[in-house]
Amino acid sequence: MNKDIWAALHQNYKEKDWIDKPSIFAEVAAGYFPKSGKVLDLGAGQAQDSRYFADQGFSVVSTDLESSAQELAKSKLSAEQRKLITFKVVDLREELPFEDATFDVVYAHLSLHYFNYETTRNIFGEIKRVLKPGGMVAFLVNSTSDPEYKAGERLEDDYFQINKAAKRYFSVESARNFTKHFETILLDDLGETYKDNAKGVRNLVRFIGKKPLITK
Ligand SMILES: C[S@@+](CC[C@H](N)C(=O)[O-])C[C@H]1O[C@@H](n2cnc3c(N)ncnc32)[C@H](O)[C@@H]1O
């Protein structure tokens, strides 16, 4: 999906009652995070989870393709959040603009399921590269149990063009495959979001894991 479509969607999201509260997954994931450190939030949108992690004392780099979402987020920051959060426009289809081993946590809520197989594999490689050894990765993505799965035109296995959006659907198995270079702490399809709960969908794929201390 191009930036203009995301900009329009963010105008719609800004009216939602969930847009200013931490996601259900952020609250679960934070329970596994270290006590402090540096979090990279990928595809953070209007940064409700970045703000939540800052409130937990983390310093956060909040990234998204869409700068208008970041402008909306900036207007809502408390003074303390402003000290802890920096915003950066980052396109996940490209190499992440960070040095190796920069972050204690890389987090992505509903932002890693828009890409073809090769790009998705590269994104996980980039996540691993920018994580410190022993750093945590946590993400929530669409699942193959979603009622929308297989709607639209098939682009690749588990990847479909649905109206203007190309969307990937993960199974626990495919998530295991993409994350095989991490140690798994939690992997299931019991993820929920406020938005999907309203549609009766409670089966998103959740992954929480660690970059090994020693990588082969
Ligand atoms: C469903 S929204 C999730 C936003 C936020 N994490 C949340 O949970 O509310 C997906 C986000 O991914 C961003 N996005 C889409 N394509 C992207 C890309 N190529 N690189 C970085 N972000 C992208 C969109 O702008 C949007 O903010």
The span from the first CA to the last CA of the chain, in angstroms, equals 36
Q: What residues have CB less than 8 Å from 206, skipping those under 6 apart?
A: 25, 28, 138, 139, 140, 186, 187, 188, 189, 190, 191
109 lines ligand 1 (CB under 6 A): yes
Q: Closest Cα to residue 141, out of 119, 114, 159?
A: 114
Tokens found for residue 135: 């750093």
- pLDDT tens for 88-120 read 999 999 999 999 999 999 999 999 999 999 999
- The DSSP 8-state label assigned to residue 54 in this structure reads H
* Residues 46-84: tens digit of each pLDDT: 999 999 999 999 999 999 999 999 999 999 999 999 999
pTM above 0.85, yes or no: yes
- Whether the CB of 82 sits within 6 Å of ligand 1: no
Q: Is any atom of ligand 1 closer than 6 Å to the C-beta of 135?
A: no
In the reported structure, the alpha carbon of residue 102 is separated from the centroid of ligand 1 by a whole-number distance in angstroms of 21
| Ligand 1 atom with the shortest distance to the CA of 10 | 27
* pLDDT tens-digit series, residues 174-198: 999 999 999 999 999 999 999 888 8
Q: Indicate whether residue 69 lines ligand 1 (CB < 6 A).
A: yes
* Beta carbon of 193 within 6 Å of any ligand 1 atom: no
- Interatomic CA distance for residues 149 and 151, integer angstroms: 6
Whole-Å CA distances, 28 to 18, 128, 156, 157, 191: 16, 21, 31, 30, 10
Pocket test for ligand 1, best of 1, 3, 6, 71 (most atoms within 8 A of CB): 6
